[in-house]
Amino acid sequence: MKHIYVNFKRFDIPKEYGGVNNIASPLEWGEYIITYIQNALQQYDKEEVEFTFYMPEAHLINAITALDKNSNLKIGSQGVYREDTSLEGNFGAFTTNKTANSMKAIGCESVIIGHCEERNDKAGVMREAGLVDPEAVSRILNLEVKAAINAGLSVLFCIGEKAEEQSNWKEVLGKQLEIGLKDVDKNKVAIAYEPVWAIGPGKTPPDKEYITQIARYIKELTDGCNVVYGGGLKEENAKMLASIDEVDGGLIALTRFQGDIGFYPEEYLEIVKKYMGKL
């Protein structure tokens, strides 16, 4: 099965506030995206491809409410807290933190954990405390993964190496997987590989050979977990990624990177068509 994920970043922020949402108001955006896209995805077999949208919290309820009964779209959360509520235990004293149980209760089916932006945030907090410990970041992420799975959510777990780590990528990725997935049911997890060193304007993305060796290595370490390319599934690389047997899909963020940058539903559908060989 193929997996096409979208990480919607901050599409709760319109352009006049510095965001890239220019197609609907923040109050209507989640419903707009789902309504536009879900019918077009009905042409794809649920047994062949899974579509999951990871949305900012502000959009979750509107997006879930807009789902048709037979929609083959899944809605996911961008991260969950490392602790959670429990019967006859903590009833929810987690101000500012969204728990996995709360995401499951409103209708989410999945969660993205360990994205390079989340890893950077956690590492930044530690630096303020005078600590530099990548393994501590992975230990915290491991608690999040366990909380998500315990609540009944599937997990897209992101790993990746920075520029200064590229020569040592096997050890870096291996440690992220070893610690982040320690004592985790890997049947509930897919892995997104993010070449952090290649993300951003003007940077050269990895080629087919590089992505293939990374995906093969991840599968070896995880007993065959699904692996998707997390460096940006785009129209220009869709056919190449689809041709790699070891890669099971991709993660989309933006669909347009120049001019009026942002996410446009019609462009998303073109990427899907190209990846699935329909274009």
Structure tokens that stand for 132 in this block: 């530099």
Query: What is the separation of C-alpha 4 from the centre of its chain, rounded to a whole number of angstroms?
Result: 10
20-36 core/surface letters (b: 16 or more CB in 10 A; e: else)? bbebeebeebbbbbbeb
Identity of residue 43: Q
- Apex 191 CA angle, 187 and 196, nearest 5: 165
Q: Confirm if 241 and 229 have CB atoms less than 8 A apart.
A: yes
Measured CA to CA, the distance from residue 221 to residue 189 in angstroms comes to: 13
Q: Which helix (H) or strand (E) holds 113?
A: strand 110-113
Cα–Cα nearest to 75, from 92, 56, 49: 56
**Of 3, 31, 59, 115, which is the active-site residue?**
115
The answer to whether residue 194 is catalytic is yes
Residue 264 burial (C-beta neighbours within 10 Å; 0-12, 13-18, 19+): middle
246 to 51, 206, 224, 226, 227: CA distances (angstroms): 19, 15, 10, 8, 7
Query: Is residue 270 classed as helix, strand or coil in its secondary structure?
Result: helix
Q: Confirm if 27 and 35 have CB atoms less than 8 A apart.
A: no
Catalytic residue ranges? 115, 194
